[in-house]
Amino acid sequence: MTESRSRPTRADAVRLDQSDPLAGERKHFALPSGVIYLDGNSLGALPRSVPDAVGETLRQWGEDLISGWWDDGWWAAPERVGDRIGGLLGAAPGQTVVGDSTSVQLFNALTAAARLRDGRRTVLVDREGFPTDRYLAASVGRLLGLTVREVPMAGLAEEIRATGDDLAVVAASAVDYRSGELHDLAAFTEAAHDAGAVVLWDVCHAAGALPLAFDALGVDFAVGCGYKFLSGGPGAPAFLYVNARHHERFDQPLTGWHGHAEPFAATAGYRPAAGIAQARIGTPPILSLLALEAALDVFDHVDLAAVRAKSLSLTDFFIACADARLSGLGFEVVTPREHRRRGSQVTLRHPDAEAIMTALAGRGVLGDVRPPNLLRFGFNGLYVSHVDAFDAVAAIEEVS
């Protein structure tokens, strides 16, 4: 946050960056000169370690051919990379696997979650959640004969209590993709469990941006993508977390050969592998998967608590600059100001959002728009600076 109560200045931003313990992490990312990149909540910037890792995988493919699956560790990658992501989720090893898209992982997780509560017929879904989450929930409802109700997060706890012993699953996003509001995972998880239901969290906008504590909270299932705050690259595979207490009864709908107990035996019937390996489906996209693995290297030497502190400082400063410089220009800060309710983005509302963002892109300030009137700005503490935040608001003022 700005160090004084007066109008924030660029000098304030410079001082904040000079005292930033994560300032040196920026060098690990390949950022174009002259660009202020505030869209890492959609696609993370390129980590410098990734091109060499992809090149090495191409070399392995060219020289080792099919033996790369064993000699170069390709076969073990979904669980190996899963454990590395699990460390960022507060999950012990053996509960997280990587592979397939976010949509596939969500479909599998939601179906498996509902099957754990056979006889209960209601699924509650975050009304403000990403459209895919709601589309998939509706599809699972049709397939399993469930009632799917979309409810606002503000009324979710009450709806959980009202539904009672017919409630099978609660599926919600940890961070609202439009507003950047961070929800109380502990409270909602506890409420779902008190009702005898299981909970599925979409953590696409949380993983890699803030500390999570899945095991400690008793989270049942979680899904997240690899290309936002984890910077795994466009289309990076998604991850699935399944709490170990559910492994014995985990029953997913897509039962591919990679999840078989004996994947090379070609037996007539499906028999799931033990543990999280049963959540594997088919052949993973190795180039993308190993690019994601290389991108995770940056987290080996940073503390997520420090990343979280940096993102809060950045978003505090951006909001303070917006309050001071954009007053009277038709902007409204949509993102909650309380730290406990804020993810790693700031959303502004303006009737001319599309035109403003287009003008900003022309000046090298990259954010994005969510119709009809929301401008989103993402703040990855590993490569965004306070000077970036100040200059972005100055540019918004100039084009408005």
**Does residue 372 have a cis peptide bond before it, meaning omega lies within 30 degrees of 0?**
yes
Q: How many CB atoms lie within 10 A of CB 166?
A: 15
Q: What are φ and ψ of residue 37, in 5° steps? A: -100, 105
pLDDT exceeds 50 at position 190: yes
- Torsions phi, psi for 142 (to 5 deg): -65, -40
pLDDT surpasses 50 at 3: no
| Average per-residue pLDDT for the chain | 97
The set of residues, in sequence order, having a beta carbon less than 8 Å from that of 356 and lying 6+ positions away, is 350, 375, 396, 399, 400
Tokens for 364, please give them. 């090298």
Quick one: pLDDT band at residue 5, thresholds 50, 70, 90? low
Q: Which domains does the chain have, with CATH numbers?
A: 10-49+303-399 (3.90.1150.10), 75-300 (3.40.640.10)
Q: What is the percent of the chain where pLDDT is above 70?
A: 99
Which 3-state string (H, E, C) describes the chain? CCCCCCCCCHHHHHHHHHCCCCHHHHHHEECCCCCEECCCCCCCCEECHHHHHHHHHHHHHHHHHHHHHHHCCCCCHHHHHHHHHHHHHCCCCCCEEECCCHHHHHHHHHHHHHHCCCCCCEEEEECCCCHHHHHHHHHHHHHHCCEEEEECHHHHHHHHHHHHHHEEEEEEECECCCCCEECCHHHHHHHHHHCCCEEEEECCCCCCCCCCCHHHHCCCEEEECCCCCCCCCCCCCCEEEECHHHCCCCCCCCCCHHHECCCCCCCCCCCECCHHHHHCCCCCCHHHHHHHHHHHHHHHHCCHHHHHHHHHHHHHHHHHHHHHHCCCCCCEECCCCCHHHECCEEEEECCCHHHHHHHHHHCCEECEEECCCEEEEECCCCCCCHHHHHHHHHHHHHHC
pLDDT at 129: 93
Look at residue 2 and tell me whether its pLDDT is greater than 70. no
How much is the pTM?
Answer: 0.96
**High-pLDDT (> 90) share of the chain, %:** 98
CB atoms within 10 A of CB 391: 18
- 129-148 average pLDDT score: 97
CA proximity to 346, closest of 372, 314, 324, 388? 314
| 352 CB-near residues (< 8 Å, 6+ apart) | 330, 400
Whole-number pLDDT of residue 233: 98
Binding site listing for pyridoxal 5'-phosphate = 102-103, 130-133, 202, 205, 227, 257, 283
Is pLDDT at 30 greater than 70 in this prediction? yes
Query: Are 288 and 237 within 8 A, CB to CB?
Result: yes
What is the distance between the alpha carbons of residues 50 and 28, in angstroms, rounded to a whole number?
10
Under the banding of pLDDT at 50, 70 and 90, the label for residue 6 is confident
Question: CA 269, CA 255: separation in Å to the nearest integer?
Answer: 11
> Residue range 137-147: average pLDDT?
98
Q: Is 308 exposed, middle or buried (0-12, 13-18, 19+ CB in 10 A)?
A: middle
Phi/psi region, residue 93 (left: phi>0; alpha: psi -120 to 50; beta: rest), is beta
Q: Which residues are annotated as a binding site?
A: 102-103, 130-133, 202, 205, 227, 257, 283
Block residue for tokens 């950047």:
180
Distance, first Cα to last Cα, the chain: 24
| pLDDT tier for residue 1 given thresholds of 50, 70 and 90 | very low
Please name every residue paired with 200 in a beta bridge, in sequence order, or none if there are none.
171, 221
**Residue-wise over 366-385: b if at least 16 C-beta within 10 A, else e?**
bbbbeeebbbbbbbbbbbbb
Beta-carbon count within 10 A of 28 CB:
19
80/157 Cα distance (integer angstroms): 36
Tens digits of residue pLDDT in 335-354: 999 999 999 999 999 999 99
Q: What is the mean pLDDT of residues 92-107?
A: 98
Residues tagged active-site: 130, 202, 227-228, 376
pLDDT tens per residue, range 38-72: 999 999 999 999 999 999 999 999 999 999 999 99
Query: How far is residue 90's CA from residue 92's CA, in Å, rounded to a whole number?
Result: 7
